[in-house]
Amino acid sequence: MSAAPAVTVQNLVKKYGHLVAVDDVSLSIHEGEIFGIIGPNGAGKTTTVECISGLRAPDSGSIIVYGLSPRKDRDKLREFVGVQLQESALPPRIKVREVIRLFASFYSNPLDPDQLLESLGIKQFGNSSFKNLSGGQKQRVSVALALVGNPKLAILDELTTGLDPEARREIWSLIERMKDRGVTVILVTHFMDEAERLCDRLALINHGAVVALDTPEAIAARAGGSRVRFVPSRPVDEQTLRVIPGVDEIERKERYVTVTGTGDLAGSLMNALAAIGVRVSEVEARTGNLEDAFIKLTKDEASSVGKGVQT
């Protein structure tokens, strides 16, 4: 896989009046990866991608997209960046095939509209008006519009919000196929399962700043949230447990010992206890997931009032 950055964002700042929407965001996105931007509502996710797509001018900082400036070279950028905007509708009476063909005519090297509709599973709705489509079908049309220009970079904002689970899964496999075709994807979402399933790397944004930037697994592991509950064959003193790698907190209740921490907590606990001859029973282990990390990282962030810690 190529390591050349497709998108580089450095010290991006964007204010709306007194409201600081994006406060010093830096990140780089590799060519061909699915890059997730996650964060609570109002964190600055949409503003960040709107700046990357050239829809908004940053107040300061620099953005380079495939060697171009999104604002200065906006005309060139539009040719190879496909954008799916949050909450953007089409004229109610426009027909699916009509609008895909129309958009195809805007680009110099478009995909074949009919093939695209087929691959998105909406060919049978080609003659339907936009207003008569279901939420999932509308989203697929929206994705089709972002892809029909055969983009190198696709920016998808809140793609599956409001969709039923089945439609979400269909959209997910669609994005995976885009990646197979070599398209770089920026995915804005507030669904952790979506980010975990699809994204190669993630930026977690809170209060306009990047609080974590890594693979979903690494973010989940680093932020903790792993928890193991067990019953030891004989009492174990707290100091023995505390020196085991990854252990943060120990709690006892009746026969049960509950340990929380980071990484492969269950594995290291079992090994360490076996080494001192303690057997364990009634083990219940839960690995930290992205959602735990999300809640932990955004809560820490909130308590340190606004200013982000760059990761």
Q: Specify the residue, 12 or 81, whose C-beta has the smaller distance to other proteins.
A: 81
Least distance between other proteins and beta carbon 63 (Å)? 15
Q: Which amino acid is at 87?
A: E
* Identity of the residue, 71 or 222, whose beta carbon is nearer to other proteins in the bound complex: 71
When asked if residue 90 is in the footprint of other proteins (CB under 8 A), the reply is yes
Shortest separation between residue 155's beta carbon and other proteins, angstroms: 9
| Sites for other proteins among residues 29-68 (CB under 8 A) | 53-55
Query: Is there a contact between 142 and 88 (Cβ–Cβ < 8 Å)?
Result: yes
In the complex, what is the shortest distance from the CB of residue 238 to other proteins, in angstroms, rounded to a whole number?
A: 58
Taking CB under 8 A as the rule, does residue 103 contact other proteins? yes
Does 78 engage in binding with other proteins (CB under 8 A)? Answer: yes
Which residues, 233 to 292, sit near other proteins by CB under 8 A?
none
Nearer to other proteins, 87 or 282 (CB): 87
* Residues engaged in binding other proteins (CB under 8 A): 53-55, 75, 78-79, 81-83, 85, 87-91, 93-94, 98-99, 101-103, 105-108, 145, 149
